[in-house]
Amino acid sequence: MFYQKLLPFIQSSTKRTYKRSQSIYMEGEEPQSLYLVKSGLIGLYHISESGKETFLRVFAKDSIFGHRSYFAQTPYHANAIALSESEIHIISKEQCNEICENHPDLLKELMKIISLELGEAEQRLAGLLDKSANTRIRESLVFLKLKYPQKVWTRKEVADFSGSTLETVTRVMTTLSNDGLIQKNGRDFKILDVDKILHYIDSAQG
Amino acid sequence: MFYQKLLPFIQSSTKRTYKRSQSIYMEGEEPQSLYLVKSGLIGLYHISESGKETFLRVFAKDSIFGHRSYFAQTPYHANAIALSESEIHIISKEQCNEICENHPDLLKELMKIISLELGEAEQRLAGLLDKSANTRIRESLVFLKLKYPQKVWTRKEVADFSGSTLETVTRVMTTLSNDGLIQKNGRDFKILDVDKILHYIDSAQG
DNA sequence: CGTTAGTTTGAGGCAGATCAACTTTGGTGG
DNA sequence: CCACCAAAGTTGATCTGCCTCAAACTAACG
């Protein structure tokens, strides 16, 4: 795996800790390094002038981030924010260059990662146009909670990820809970029936 | 530039011609090659089960496509369709492998291309959520027509690119034409005042 | 010129955003 | 351990952008 191959470079790298809501980098800044998540959860957010927040990507243990801007050679197009207490390895530009020059296998691995990310982004782009908010919210609940079960996802985070609002997320969750498809525990929740959540007949689109 | 570096590999590659609306590859197929546009215009489309078409990317002279699926090692996630008569070089999987193994500079170049594409996709994703259809249509008109002026863009193509409908595109274009910001010539149109088109006060969002 | 693909215009409806007021949760410190 | 309070969640009522459906029109090409 990618992370394994990267290990030798991490030995000599800086490690930093971030608390929830702390920013690792901000849109517009020049990329100076790559980041590797050692523990915790990082969210990549786009924030528009009007203040609308869009939750673009999640990074968990062993994921890298900051790679897009590094290779595009453009300023960051979004903000990286800790979603929970996180430890991050910071890989310097010099180390990155060394990797690129002398480790084509790692480069190819990175290529695969970014290709998958582009696929996901375009899939979501299309989904925003042909799926109802209700459907997107249900898919996001399943995706986020099954992939990162330890995290207590807020309604706002689900809303920003699904492209909706926290009020609408609340309403969908209330319905799902009443139908016994999820179980609410305080602010947290549990997925009870993945299939029914995803195949729920959405009156908005049959 | 990328295209220049790729030239040696193209000499021995197959060349094919596609008519407007002809498909180069379809979603779900296994990637067998990379494609390089020699002339014409290619559109990458996602088509949902309900039939909704989303226009993801445009490829003009000297752009490659098919690279995302090739490196992600997944089936194509979208359809590549000729938007006008086009000549395409087809670079075989074997040649691709050879490039990856022995030409890290080309690989890094590809990395940059795909990083920029991911940035654009995520920018558009966020735009769908915080900009009105009206704004997105005006931006798309400017982007598509200024970047590819020779192409007579249909209302449907603009709609699929902006995430809207052809009726709404028609209405926006009628307004812009009445205000003297674009000039309609039959089915084609000309951009007259980029700044005013983009800074148009959208009553929907100020 | 006939035919098809593309465009225009109108009328109607609704998903879900927005605004607002209230309740609950869970961490903090006295 | 309890009281407090900021952060998060709930619920209701309203409003609208623009999608959808429908029907008539026109460009462009063989």
pLDDT tens, position by position, A147-158: 999 999 999 999
**A206 has pLDDT over 70:** no
Query: Of A9-18, A57-66, A182-191, which gets the smallest average pLDDT?
Result: A9-18
pLDDT at B180 over 60: yes
CA-closest candidate to residue B151, choices B190, B103, B124, B204: B190
Cα distances (Å, whole numbers) of residue B52 to B25, B27, B134, B143, B158: 18, 14, 19, 22, 14
More confident residue, A95 or B19: B19
* Rounded Cα distance, B125 and A124, in Å: 8
Residue type for position B29: E
For residue range A66-80, what is the model confidence (pLDDT) as tens digits?
Answer: 999 999 999 999 999
The rounded Cα A148 to chain-centroid distance in angstroms is 10
pLDDT of residue A81: 97
Comparing CB atoms, the residue among A74, A77, A107 nearest residue B107 is A107
Residue B204 has pLDDT above 50, yes or no: no
Alpha-carbon distance of B40 to B27, in angstroms, equals 21
Confidence of residue A6 (pLDDT cuts 50, 70, 90): confident
The answer, for B77 touching chain A at a CB cutoff of 8 Å, is: yes
Q: Determine contact: A111 vs chain B, CB below 8 A.
A: yes
- Which contiguous run of DSSP H or E holds residue B46? strand B42-47
B99/B92 Cα distance (integer angstroms): 11
Mean pLDDT of the A173-193 span = 97
Residue A8 has pLDDT above 80, yes or no: no
Instruction: State the pTM of this model.
Output: 0.95
* 3-state SS class at A29: coil
Q: Please list every residue in chain A whose beta carbon sits closer than 8 Å to the beta carbon of residue B108.
A: 71, 100, 107
Taking only the tens place, the pLDDT of each residue in B38-76 is 999 999 999 998 899 999 999 999 999 999 999 999 999
pLDDT at A4 over 90: no
pLDDT value of position B206: 34
- So what's the pLDDT on residue A202? 58
Residues in A closer than 8 angstroms to B115, CB to CB, are: 67-72, 114
Q: For the packed helices A104-130 and A2-10, what is the interaxial angle rounded to 10 degrees?
A: 120
State the nearest Cα–Cα gap between A163 and chain B, in angstroms: 6
Point out the residue among A77, A118, A130 whose CB comes nearest to the CB of B50.
A130
Using an 8 Å CB-CB cutoff, list chain B residues near A115. 67-72, 114
Are A118 and B118 a contacting pair at CB < 8 A? yes
Phi and psi at residue B163, to the nearest 5°: 80, 60
pLDDT at B8: 75
Residue B180, SS3 per DSSP: coil
In this prediction, residue A9 has a pLDDT band, given cuts at 50, 70 and 90, of confident
pLDDT, tens only, B132-162 = 999 999 999 999 999 999 999 999 999 999 9
Q: With CB atoms and an 8 Å threshold, state whether A125 touches B129.
A: no
Using CB atoms, pick whichever of A69, A128, A131 lies closest to residue B125.
Answer: A128
Please give the share of chain A, as a percent, with pLDDT higher than 70: 96
Strand C contacts in A 47-66 (CB under 7 A): none
Residues of B in contact with A104 (CB under 8 A): 100-101, 104, 107
Residue B118 — pLDDT band, cuts 50, 70, 90? very high
